[in-house]
Structure 1
Amino acid sequence: MDVRHLELLRDLAERGSVTAVAAATRRTPSAVSQQLKVASREFGAMLVEPAGRGLRLTEAGRLLAGGGLEVAEAVERVQATWDKFRNAPSGAVALAMLPSAATFLLPQVMHELRGERIELRCTDVDLAEAEFGGLVADHDIVLAHSLTSRAPAGTEGLRAVRLVREPLDIALPAKHPLTRRQAVSAEDLVDEDWIGVPVGYPFDTVLQAIERKTGNSLRVTQRLRDNRLIEALVASGQGLAVLPRFTTREERGLALRPLLGIPSRRYVFAVMRRDRAERLAVRRVLDAFVRVADAVTQMGA
């Protein structure tokens, strides 16, 4: 049994197409297809079948793909045991991170890991909640967001560790009349213009909740991803927005107020493939994120 064939089947299960596997492993699609044929001959069973213009795993292929994950987990556990024996977690750890979460977590994590033989390879990615799970194919740890305390949608079968519960506040221009209040209600907000985020992002669900509670449609004039850009627009009087409490700077000409009567918070998770979560270096980095997140929560940021 060639472990490399199990790994190939696992890659196809995770990435969904021969083309995606080829791109990720720097091979041609024809080379990947040829290796799948060799694997089928080795195991004596059809492991893939045509699906449109591509290939998909058969039941036998899915079974062996699951075995590939188990083998990978076992190998990583042995490596972790060896690294622990040598007292030397080391190597590169690839991070894909939601920027607005990384802003209050990553600097202190990097400070904590200073001097260790771990190299962090960081990528900032702003996606809808359900899209973060796909990033684990190419990254060891993914910082994702969820509107609920449950793991983000699309991360089923992955290891997910909850790091932070962050309030989402209503951002107002500094001179807006509502800033005279300590908190605002849904009814206070229905006649305002809004700078929103794309549908599918946690912040947008807060606006949807306001609409459901009041029975009114909100005027969303723009849908943007960059929180700093949204802050600038709010500060200039272009509308209100939902923004995260820990990284929004009120001195930029805006004010934050809690929203009454509607749950308005997001949860930040560290999401990992189960085999990669066994690596000692990955566990060390995860532990650093957990400690920093705990400190942020205790401080109330």
Structure 2
Amino acid sequence: MELHQLQMLRELGELGSVKAVAETMSVTPSAVSQQIALLQRQVDAPLTRKDGRNLVLTGAGKVLADAGADVINAMATAKAAIGAYQHERGGTVTVCGFHSAGQALFAPLVRHLAAMRDGTGTAGAAFAGVPRVRLSDEDVAQHDFPALTARYDLVLAHRMDHSPPWPESRVRVIPLAHEPLDVALSVDHPLAAKKSLAPADVVRYPWVTSRSGYSPADVLAAVGAVASVPVNVVHRINDYSAAAALVSTGDVIGLLPRFTSSPARSPGVTLRPLTGISTRRRIDVLARPENLKRASVMLVAEALQQVMAELTGE
């Protein structure tokens, strides 16, 4: 078995199609199919099966893919042990994040890394290998974040407190923040005079919220359940900036993250905490274990922790 064959099998399990594996590994789909076919010849049990137009892993395929992930991680550990991998601080680190995290963290991250470079001058060797980052935004439902680690070194992800934990058998988790979703109001809204709000206070107003399956919609469903009143959702918009702009008109109220969607970036909007239900979401960095063996990736992960700490005041 070749390492790249195991890697392709692993990616097929994560991404769900030969085409996606080919794009991620910068090869042709026929090359992926050929290598998986060669791998199949070396084992007796079927590794893949057809599911519509896609090729998915069988139970045996998943077992072999998991074993392959262990091999890849072990190889990264071996490279780190001899120093060729672990001490490489330069290069490029790929980072993706959901929209509000990108708006709040991407620019400060770039500035933070630039300051590390600029602070060394020509003689400073300690930070001579500060990496560059390539940034992307990905607006996905919670259960789709772990699969993004196949395409990016670091993935900024969020989940509500009550939702299932990340699959730590497949990804490593670096906590960044524990962020409440607050009620967003126009500054002249009648409820803006209150210091905090309960579900009974807000449930009868018209709302802007996200599409189903995303954090604000989940919290708003709980508001309706606690107040035993149907919620009047007027707009369903995933982009927090657009939602805040609608809130500023006074026609609707909404839910915005306290740290990553600051009212300072939304003129005419103020936030109030919502009591009586859990509104907190966890913001984490997800990564494959082998990627965290790279000093450059760890440096960027630590920079993200510092940037988030500054944002939250912790």
For normalisation by structure 1, the TM-score amounts to 0.88
- What is the match of residue 19 of structure 2? 19
- What is the match of residue 139 of structure 1? 152
- 1:161 partner letter: I
Mapped contact 1:195–1:220 kept (Cα < 8 A)? yes
- What is the match of residue 4 of structure 1? 4
SS in 2 for 1:111: helix
Identity %: 33
Deviations 1:97-117 (A, max 9, x none): 122123333333323322243
Q: Aligned pair in 2 of structure 1 residues 189, 86: CA closer, same or farther (>3 Å)?
A: closer
Q: How far has the Cα of 1:90 moved from its partner? A: 1.9
User: Is 1:248 matched up with 2:258?
Assistant: no
Deviates more, 1:269-278 or 1:59-68: 59-68
CA distance in structure 2 between the partners assigned to 1:283 and 1:205 by the alignment: 33
SS in 2 for 1:144: strand
- 1:8 partner letter: M
Deviates more, 1:220-229 or 1:29-38: 29-38
- What is the match of residue 290 of structure 1? 305
Mapped contact 1:129–1:152 kept (Cα < 8 A)? no
- What is the match of residue 274 of structure 2? 259
Q: 1:276 aligns with which of 281, 291, 301?
A: 291
Q: 1:148 aligns with which of 161, 165, 171?
A: 161
Mapped contact 1:21–1:32 kept (Cα < 8 A)? yes
Q: Aligned pair in 2 of structure 1 residues 285, 86: CA closer, same or farther (>3 Å)?
A: closer
Q: 1:196 aligns with which of 204, 209, 212?
A: 209
| Structure 1 ranges of 4+ moved more than 6 A | none
User: Is 1:69 matched up with 2:69?
Assistant: yes
Q: Aligned pair in 2 of structure 1 residues 127, 56: CA closer, same or farther (>3 Å)?
A: closer
CA distance in structure 1 between the partners assigned to 2:162 and 2:294 by the alignment: 26
Which structure 2 residues correspond to residues 170-249 of structure 1 after superposition, within 5 A? 170-246=183-259, 247-249=261-263
User: Is 1:99 matched up with 2:114?
Assistant: no
Mapped contact 1:98–1:125 kept (Cα < 8 A)? yes
CA distance in structure 2 between the partners assigned to 1:87 and 1:49 by the alignment: 38
RMSD: 2.5
Deviations 1:19-45 (A, max 9, x none): 33233334444432222222233x243
SS in 1 for 2:145: helix
Mapped contact 1:77–1:279 kept (Cα < 8 A)? no
Deviates more, 1:193-202 or 1:28-37: 28-37
Mapped contact 1:160–1:270 kept (Cα < 8 A)? yes
- What is the match of residue 125 of structure 2? none
Mapped contact 1:151–1:160 kept (Cα < 8 A)? no
Q: Aligned pair in 2 of structure 1 residues 219, 16: CA closer, same or farther (>3 Å)?
A: same
Q: 2:135 aligns with which of 122, 129, 147?
A: 122
User: Is 1:48 matched up with 2:47?
Assistant: yes
Deviates more, 1:27-36 or 1:63-72: 27-36
- 1:229 partner letter: A
Mapped contact 1:92–1:121 kept (Cα < 8 A)? yes
CA distance in structure 1 between the partners assigned to 2:197 and 2:66 by the alignment: 50
- 1:259 partner letter: L
Q: How far has the Cα of 1:87 moved from its partner? A: 4.6
Deviates more, 1:94-103 or 1:193-202: 94-103
